[in-house]
Amino acid sequence: MRRKRFQRGSLSSRKRKGRNYWYAQWREEGRPKSKELGLCSKMTRVDAEAKLAEIMAPVNAGAGNAENVTWTFGKFCRVVYLPVCHRKWKTSTGMTEANRIEFHLIGGLGSRRMEEITREELQSFLDSKARSNSRSMVDHLRFRLRSIFAFAISEGVVDRNPATELFTPRSCQEGRAREVLTRDQAIAMVGVLEQRRR
């Protein structure tokens, strides 16, 4: 079970409409939270830190005790993993990856509790995906499962990574064949492009 950590929160100044404001950030039940505390010109940093400490007091009540949060695979991906990843992914990568995670991984494992998922279950999941998907797709799902569980370890949600020893089954579907243009096809395409320029 995940243990509730003591948090200090973070305080920074941010400009909005030409004026600087104190801005506080922290996490509650895995979700990022934030609040504007007031104008920097009307509140010293010490006052802003005191206000942040007031906000953090109920959040930190019982720090060190076990949190009563049930982390399903779907909840962990949507609430913790994807928001962090979106901050480092390019927009195009984020759209592709989020869709792949939602459709394939959350679609198949979403309701399962993170700490109950086993290596055998994940390998059976990949075996089933290999019956209808290409090797590159199954490789990608295997990589993403490793990444999700490694992140879950760092967040204290699980104490082991059941995806570490997963392998891609040999019986994957054939991927799309790559077509290579012949010399004559390439010359014909260049000719068409040159005609359009004229």
Task: Band the pLDDT of 52: cuts 50, 70, 90.
Answer: confident
Q: For residues 77-105, b (16+ Cβ closer than 10 Å) or e, as one string?
A: bbbbbbeebeeeeeeeeeeebbeebeebb
pTM here is 0.57
Domain 10-60: give its CATH superfamily: Integrase, DNA-binding domain (3.30.160.390)
- pLDDT at position 101 is 95
- pLDDT at position 10 is 85
Q: In which residue ranges of the chain is CATH 1.10.150.130 found?
A: 73-154
- pLDDT at position 71 is 92
3-state secondary structure of 187: helix
Q: In which residue ranges of the chain is CATH 3.30.160.390 found?
A: 10-60
Task: Band the pLDDT of 68: cuts 50, 70, 90.
Answer: low
Asked if residue 65 lies in contact with residue 97, where contact means CB atoms within 8 angstroms, the answer is no
Give the CATH class of 73-154: mainly alpha
CA–CA distance, 84 with 102 (Å, rounded to integer): 15
Asked if residue 46 lies in contact with residue 80, where contact means CB atoms within 8 angstroms, the answer is no
- pLDDT at position 179 is 64
Helix (H) or strand (E) holding 34: strand 31-39
- pLDDT at position 166 is 95
CA–CA distance, 145 with 159 (Å, rounded to integer): 15
Helix, strand, coil percent content, the chain, rounded in steps of 5: 50, 15, 35
Beta strands 19-28 and 31-39, pairing class: antiparallel
- pLDDT at position 63 is 55
Asked if residue 67 lies in contact with residue 2, where contact means CB atoms within 8 angstroms, the answer is yes
Helix 91-100 / helix 135-154 crossing angle, nearest 10 deg: 100
Task: Band the pLDDT of 1: cuts 50, 70, 90.
Answer: very low
End-to-end CA distance of the chain: 70
More confidently predicted of 178 and 115: 115
Q: What is the mean predicted confidence (pLDDT) over 70-92?
A: 91
Condensed to tens digits (0 to 9), the pLDDT of residues 122-143 reads: 999 999 999 988 899 999 999 9
Smallest Cα–Cα separation from 88: which of 100, 97, 101? 97
- pLDDT at position 174 is 66
Task: Band the pLDDT of 189: cuts 50, 70, 90.
Answer: confident
2-11, 44-53, 68-77, 95-104: least confident range: 2-11
